[in-house]
Amino acid sequence: MHRIAPITVVLLCLLAVRVMAATAPVPAAPPLAAKSYTLQDYDSGYVLSSRAPDLRVEPASLTKMMTAYVIFQELKAGHMRLDDKVRVSEKAWRMPGSRMFIEVDKVITAEDLLKGMIIQSGNDASVALAEHSAGSEEAFAQLMNQYAQRLGLTATHFVNSTGLPDPEHYTTARDMAKLAEALIRDFPEEYQWHAIQKFTFNGITQYNRNKLLWRDKSIDGIKTGHTEAAGYCLVASAKRDGMRLISVVMGTESEKARARDTQALLNYGFRFFQTRRLYKKLQPLKQVRAWKGATEMVDVGLADDLYVTVPRGQYRKLQASMQLEGQVVAPVGKGQRLGMLSLSLGDRQLLERPLVSLQTVDEGTLWRQLVDHVMLMLE
């Protein structure tokens, strides 16, 4: 077992900034009236609190998060452009529920339709975009499910682009959090549209249904939803002092309740937890002997940034260690797994991450291989 020196420096720096005489207690999350909910950190993926996160529920207009994700993918791939002219079908025009009030056979840009869907939650805009992208809403729903599989939304299935009720249209709070994470990560520029408070189209100004955008400047999205069966739902994200949280509240009884529960969850998370990046991706954490190699040593580190979320004041108890998977013998490929890094808080293991080679190490000369072979036999 090898101890990793760099984390000691990191932790000492953190403790120098915030010295606490004693570890502050962490209460349970505030009581919520939602059927299910989850609160997680965006960077670390750590779940701060949840209740029935895998309960199957109707997503209602939260569905439009996936509709937006697919359209953003189409734009990125060059299959669509924001200035595309989209002709409104009768089906799109007749959509019930929330609307941006587009008219049948009128031609509207894809950008306006996206804003009408994201800001105004327009069902008509959602269908118009789906038909323009895939030819029909049914074909577009297949795209939605394919992307859902890629993102690991294992308990989600879509049959339309709007969220209108259907027995085969369902999701979970956990899956909605994963979708929110993907939306922020994969499309940071486009994600900013979810913070726009109002949009005017055809002389009609409508306001974003996420009322928290007016109350809390740290909140920058994401989407509300409501049907009679689903209740009032809200997926939100907020960023304070470099820490981003994602909350999902499903099945509350009113707009006020979903906003109140969401605000309570986010405040709880920011108040009692902290997230820090401990290691950068590809940062050398240790050098190890590369037997029979053209070079004697090889750097090992992590393929991705390592973030950790812990209760405030708990960093002094963090311990990191790494275990190599036997001797490292050339040839070694860059990115090859060589061991495992473990991070613990007190007697509780928080996470494990693979340790990988940061360089390629080719085989050494025949003489070097022979000498090292003998030395390995004597180990």
49, 50, 98, 121: which is the annotated catalytic residue?
A: 121
Cβ-count burial 330-353 (b if 16+ within 10 Å, e if not): bebeeebebbebbbebeeeebbeb
**80 contact partners, CB below 8 Å, separation of at least 6:** 71, 74, 110, 132, 133
Secondary structure string (H, E, C) spanning the chain: CEECCHHHHHHHHHHHHCCCCCCCCCCCCCCCCCCEEEEEECCCCCEEEEECCCCCECCHHHHHHHHHHHHHHHHHHCCCCCCCEEECCHHHHCCCCCCCCCCCCCEEEHHHHHHHHHCCCCHHHHHHHHHHHHCCHHHHHHHHHHHHHHCCCCCCECCCCCCCCCCCCEECHHHHHHHHHHHHHHCHHHHHHHHCCEEEECCEEEECCCCHHHHCCCEEEEEEEEECCCEEEEEEEEEECCEEEEEEEEEECCHHHHHHHHHHHHHHHHHHEEEEEEECCCCCCEEEEEECECCCEEEEECCCCEEEEEECCCHHHEEEEEEECCCEECCECCCCEEEEEEEEECCEEEEEEEEEECCCECECCHHHHHHHHHHHHHC
91 neighbors 126 (Cβ within 8 angstroms): no
Is 61 one of the catalytic residues? yes
Report which of 8, 11, 4 is spatially closest to residue 315, judged by C-alpha positions. 11
As a whole number of angstroms, the distance between CA 101 and CA 39 comes to: 35
Is 121 one of the catalytic residues? yes
61, 161, 247, 357: which is the annotated catalytic residue?
A: 61
Is 64 one of the catalytic residues? yes
36, 44, 49, 64: which is the annotated catalytic residue?
A: 64
297 neighbors 289 (Cβ within 8 angstroms): yes
> Which residues are part of the catalytic machinery?
61, 64, 121
